[in-house]
Structure 1
Amino acid sequence: MFRSVEIALASLYVTTTGILIAGIYYVHDVLGVQQWGIIAFVSLIITLVAGSILARIAITPLREHFDHLERFSKETLHELNLPINTITANVQMLRKTHTDDKSLKRLERIEVAAEMLKERYNELDYLIKKQSEREKIEHFNLREVLEERLIFLASLYPSVVWEVTLESCDVNCDRIGLAKVIDNLIENGVKYSPKSPIITITLRDNIVSICDQGMGMDEITLMHIYDRYYQNDSTMAGYGIGLNLVKRYCDRYGIALHISSRLHEGTCVKLEFKKKGS
């Protein structure tokens, strides 16, 4: 596909140059126009018209490719939604007939796995909409989102000690994207902490603080944390794109992002939301 785009762009360059030269020759030698200002103006108009037409032709393969990719992504998401709902519904039915502890624990693990799949489904749906600039801006209470995410994450990380203090805070932004930002920051704190980590989360004066007591980062690492695919510890799971996405989200919605860290002491991330009227 990209090979055809390269050929189309090369053809565009050669054709536009040829039209420009032919236009100058026709106006100067055939029509006998000697004013170079007029010649330059006419040549510019010809070039713009030809370039616009040829550019549309050149970009068509690329547009078709992305349209196909978007359709495929939406169809895949639709297909994923059905088995997730089927798993959840059947687990609820099995709970009515299986009451022993072993069965209930197994069903709980299945529920958590299905919930994780649902989260990935929502994330993919969000990313597709984001690429199409169809993010939904909502007015909501930030405390509710934090409480919702903590309930979900607590089920995934039962060994974590949560120290939570939340005040009410109304914000205007993309709710789904913000949930992904919060998930990423909390999961980073858990991932880079000891086996029984303590995660402190506070919401006060329009500032969300997410702090851990993990391995922390040195000054060199802090300089690269927003670089895409950068990882402080290559043995950890993930692809090193989380903080890059967090930074892009914060920049988009005017959220001040502050990260402080000390090696072997822990990391604290703060999201500072704009106050009303500011």
Structure 2
Amino acid sequence: MRKLYCLISLLALIAILCTGAYCQSPRTANHQPALAASNDAQRTADAREGQRILMWAGWIIGAFFVACTLYLAVERRRVVASKDAELAGKSQELLIIQEQVNQTNEELMAINANLESIVEERTLKLSKVNCELDMFLYRSSHDLRRPVTTLMGLVEVSKLGFDENTAKYLFSKINDTAVHMDTMLEKFFMINTINHESTEIGEVNFEEILDSVQHSSLVHNYAEQVQFDVVVEPGIRIVADPQLITFILKNLIDNAIVFRCKDGKRQPVIRIEVRPVGNAVGISVHDNGIGIAEANLSEIFTLFYRGSEASKGNGLGLYVVRKAIEKLNGNITVSSRLNEFTCFHITLPPSANVQIQTEAAARPVLITA
């Protein structure tokens, strides 16, 4: 545009110069006196004509200048507007990119926070597991050594000689010690199975499981003293790990037998119920034993915890129950009142380890053993 402007200006200047030269160009000399006046008039007319030409040339050149100036202004404004629009587009793109960067930063911060939370949670779990392992090794070594020491002491006593009654007493103590050790080793086996073996899914048959539990050593020894009421809701089909369900029921029933009422005022009753709870299954074990003090309820599932003088066990039973339920992604609650009752309620929701199917049925089936 600047080149065009300069070209127009140059042409206008040339036109002015040519006009001036035309006006000042000499005419053919005429020496005759008669023609002198005519020549003066002609020159005056030529001068006026030249002035008119200059005036029109000035107007034309001015118009050209104005038109060019306006054109240049409009063109400059168009270019500026185009640049402004381009800059606005770039600014919008930058804003979008900035928003994307901010969003990405927020996502990264959330991921980092989540990772920190996961690391912290897993660190706490690892610390808890290590603490439990240390306690387990320490307590189990002592608990295993205790029956061995008892057996060694009984052997030393037997070397002193004894009569028939003393022999019966010693053999009874040896049997009790062996049973205690066998029970403890069985609990260790359960803990190892829960912690290290994969879940084996199969249909859970509560009748078979309860039958096997009732024929275990502890339950069998008190079968005549304890009344068992089993209520299984018809139409419930549970697919889970039968071994874990067995661990749960066996330890809860053993716990109910150990803490049964022994004063003879009422017959020990253990009631087991299996019912649907929404889309989950609920298992409850209720007994009318000596109950649990409220201060101890929060600790009873802790490894090696013994909350009562009546407990002659090793503090592993309810810990096994908790670990088995956790592996099935369930939860357990307990309610109790001293010298009246204790009730453990288990909820097993559907998960990868538990599948539940319910069908419409009549009334629950009551099995009394």
TM-score norm. by structure 1 comes to 0.51
1:208 corresponding residue in structure 2: 283
2:259 corresponding residue in structure 1: 192
2:340 corresponding residue in structure 1: 265
Larger RCO (CA under 8 A, 6+ residues apart): 2
Matched, 1:164 2:230: yes
Cα pair distance change 1:167/1:144, threshold 3 Å: farther
Query: Which stretch shifts more, 226-235 or 262-271?
Result: 226-235
1:93 corresponding residue in structure 2: none
Alignment size in residue pairs: 166
CA contact (8 A) 2:203 2:240 kept: yes
Distance 2:310 2:290 in 1: 14
Cα pair distance change 1:144/1:265, threshold 3 Å: same
> Deviation at 1:221?
0.7
2:294 corresponding residue in structure 1: 219
Distance 2:193 2:300 in 1: 26
Larger radius of gyration: 2
Q: Give the secondary-structure state (helix, strand or coil) at the position aligned to 2:297.
A: helix
> Deviation at 1:250?
0.8
2:323 corresponding residue in structure 1: 248
Q: Give the secondary-structure state (helix, strand or coil) at the position aligned to 2:254.
A: helix
Distance 2:186 2:301 in 1: 24
CA contact (8 A) 1:142 1:171 kept: no
> Deviation at 1:266?
1.1
Aligned with residue 214 of structure 2, among 150, 154, 160: 150
Q: For residues 215-273 of structure 1, give each alpha carbon's deviation from its aligned partner in whole angstroms, at most 9, with x where no partner exists.
A: 11122111211221111113421111221221121111122212111111110011222
Cα pair distance change 1:166/1:120, threshold 3 Å: farther
Cα pair distance change 1:123/1:224, threshold 3 Å: closer
Distance 2:180 2:238 in 1: 26
Identity of matched residues, %: 25
CA contact (8 A) 1:161 1:197 kept: yes
Q: For residues 49-88 of structure 1, give each alpha carbon's deviation from its aligned partner in whole angstroms, at most 9, with x where no partner exists.
A: xxxxxxxxxxxxxxxxxxxxxxxxxxxxxxxxxxxxxxxx
Distance 1:138 1:194 in 2: 36
> Deviation at 1:150?
3.2
Q: Which runs of 5+ in 2 are unaligned?
A: 1-177, 351-355, 359-369
Q: For residues 2-53 of structure 1, give each alpha carbon's deviation from its aligned partner in whole angstroms, at most 9, with x where no partner exists.
A: xxxxxxxxxxxxxxxxxxxxxxxxxxxxxxxxxxxxxxxxxxxxxxxxxxxx
Alignment of 1:114-133 (within 5 A): 126-133=190-197
Cα pair distance change 1:174/1:231, threshold 3 Å: same
> Deviation at 1:131?
4.2
Q: CA RMSD in A?
A: 3.2
Distance 1:129 1:201 in 2: 25
CA contact (8 A) 2:219 2:257 kept: no
Which amino acid in the other structure matches residue 246 of structure 1?
A: V
Cα pair distance change 1:161/1:136, threshold 3 Å: same
